[in-house]
Amino acid sequence: MTAPSPLETAANADAPAELTDGYHLVVDALKMNDVDTIYGVVGIPITDLARLAQAQGIRYVGFRHESNAGHAAAAAGYLTKKAGICLTVSAPGFLNGLVALANATTNCFPMVQISGSSERHLVDLKQGDYEEMDQLAAAQPFCKAAYRISRVEDIGRGIARALRTAVSGRPGGVYLDIPAAVLGSIMDAEEGAKTLSRLVDPAPRQLPAPESVDRAIELLAGAQRPLIVLGKGAAYAQADSQIREFVESTGIPYVPMSMAKGLLPDDHPQSAATARSLALKKADVVMLVGARLNWLLAHGEAPQWNPDAKFVQVDIEAKEMDSNQPIAAPLVGDIESVVEALIERTKPGQIAAPAAWREELGARSAQNVAKMAERLKADPHPMQFMGALKAVRDVIRERPEVYLVNEGANALDIARNVIDMHVPRHRLDSGTWGVMGIGMGYAIAAAVESGQPVVAVEGDSAFGFSGMEIETICRYKLPVVTVIMNNGGVYRGDDVNPYDDAPSPTTLMSAARHDVMFEAFGGKGYRATTPAEVTAALTEALAWGGPALIDCVIDPSAGTESGHIAHLNPKGITVGNITPAKK
């Protein structure tokens, strides 16, 4: 090979170096770590970041509100076990996304919110910059971790650290602050490439101690009324076959939390979901798998629970143990590794649920199922929640690939009891915080990440929190069918204001036509006043495969205040004793 001549060498030396900037390094770092989708809302200073990501092959899904984009990123993280990415502008946009980031952390969903921010030297001296805010300080109390990238050469490190933090250990939300000046900074492309890195084993297995496993086995083996509670953490773990093997090999009855429905089919013979109250009240040894003894499980306290119950808890976070009740057998590790260890170290026949316990729960389940069947037979007019949701259940029962998103008060509570699930991770709902507004974001993420049809069952009040995202659904032509339980109110639509003509605090527009609004964006709208019409509309919408909305007209008097958690309402002076102000 001929060496370059002195003239060629001089010419090469004079040639300008190839350059890169912060925008390119962010996109390159994300691609290097297999990020293929970003959910967000563009604006200063991150519009060109979204454009560049799209140009480089990353799918960008643009929303109408940052909170909904964040909920989508969180749901994507739950479904994929990879950090979902939410991209927002500074200050107000950042704050909008922070709701979803906090919710992701509470629910243990891996998510990274990347927000542009104002110039540091102006923010720190409070000089009144455009959308000035110390976003890092604001984010820290509400997420698993918060980082700021202050130099362009640290972009690769910052992206890698955020992604690892989101998925490692107990998953959660991570905030990553990138000031505008860093995005616009320019550096040598070759040197910039050297600053990027690909994560190695970001969520390594965490094996339980053998003595901890043996302690748990001994406790379960001695139980007369053992019970397994499966939480959404068990579903997230994607250890489906191992969990099923342990449940079935021991014969222990189990109760699934709402997002764990389908981890084993809801009609599984060991499911005690329809005898939940009895199971919790009488179980003497309870194994929690990816479930926490928080308010959703009455903190493990009597009278809902047996006051003498002993708990086995499987969780990757050691400090979760004893948070509400003493944990007799803590199993610290990732769920797949823990359950595999239980299977390996349990001797054949060592753990077996007594027949009397299984029969007692089975009898109560049969009794409750019969009662529910009678309620579902009724077909009153105007339509009730039960009738509309039974129609939804019957249609999607024939379509196990359908993802179900569910939020509201009565719409959530009743759907959870009526609609069975048979496939893991196909039910997404309001979760640990009971947040309203997750509906359209979760539905969009489920459709984008899976490519499968989604049915979002929404209370009309809950729908209002994210309803403008129906435009996003139509714009991207997603296979999402939104089913609105429209009873014209928050909880119910028959409340009245006895003092003047203004609507009561819980009153919505009873004549609202969500279906007409949906058609304005190019989707298919349906109005249903009977269960038969719900069945016909949902069947047609799913067969079509495009964006659709069914406005189910429900009796305004249907539903109860606050749904199944009315007991959380504080009791004070009754409304009837309030004296109206004089005008």
Model confidence band, residue 13 (pLDDT cutoffs 50, 70, 90)? low
Residue 128 confidence (pLDDT): 85
Residues 421 and 415: beta-carbon distance below 8 Å: no
Q: What percent of the chain has pLDDT over 90?
A: 85
Distance separating alpha carbons of residues 310 and 322, to the nearest angstrom: 12
Q: Is the pLDDT of residue 164 over 90?
A: yes
pLDDT at 120: 83
Residue type, 550: I
Please report the pLDDT score of residue 123 as a whole number.
Answer: 84
Task: Note the pLDDT tens digit of each residue in 241-294.
Answer: 999 999 999 999 999 999 999 999 999 999 999 999 999 999 999 999 999 999
Q: What's the CA gap between 193 and 180, in Å, rounded?
A: 20
Q: How many CB atoms lie within 10 A of CB 224?
A: 12
Residues 316-357: tens digit of each pLDDT: 999 999 999 999 999 999 999 999 999 999 999 999 999 999
Residue 220 DSSP SS3: helix
Tell me the C-alpha distance between 427 and 419, whole Å: 10
The residue-averaged pLDDT of 369-380 equals 90
Distance, in Å, from the CA atom of 189 to the CA atom of 544, rounded to the nearest integer, reads 48
CA–CA gap between residue 24 and residue 1 (Å, rounded): 35
Q: b/e map of 192-208 (b: 16 or more CB within 10 Å)? A: beebbeebeebbeebeb
Q: Rounded mean pLDDT of 220-237? A: 98
The better pLDDT of the pair 311, 559 is held by 311
Cβ atoms 446, 403 nearer than 8 A: yes
At residue 12 the predicted structure's pLDDT band, cuts being 50, 70 and 90, is low
Give residue 493's pLDDT.
87
Residue 379's pLDDT is: 82
pLDDT (0 to 100) of residue 577:
58
Residues 6 or more apart whose CB falls under 8 angstroms from that of 490 comprise: 409, 461, 505, 506, 507, 508
Report pLDDT for 570. Answer: 85
Compute the average pLDDT of residues 197-209. Answer: 97
Tens of pLDDT along 356-368? 999 999 999 999 9
Summarised one tens digit per residue, pLDDT across range 102-133 is: 999 999 999 999 999 988 888 888 888 888 89
Which residues does residue 115 pair with via DSSP β-bridges, in sequence order? Answer: 88, 177
Q: Measured in whole angstroms, how far is the alpha carbon of residue 571 from the centre of its chain?
A: 31
> Residue 578: is its pLDDT beyond 80?
no
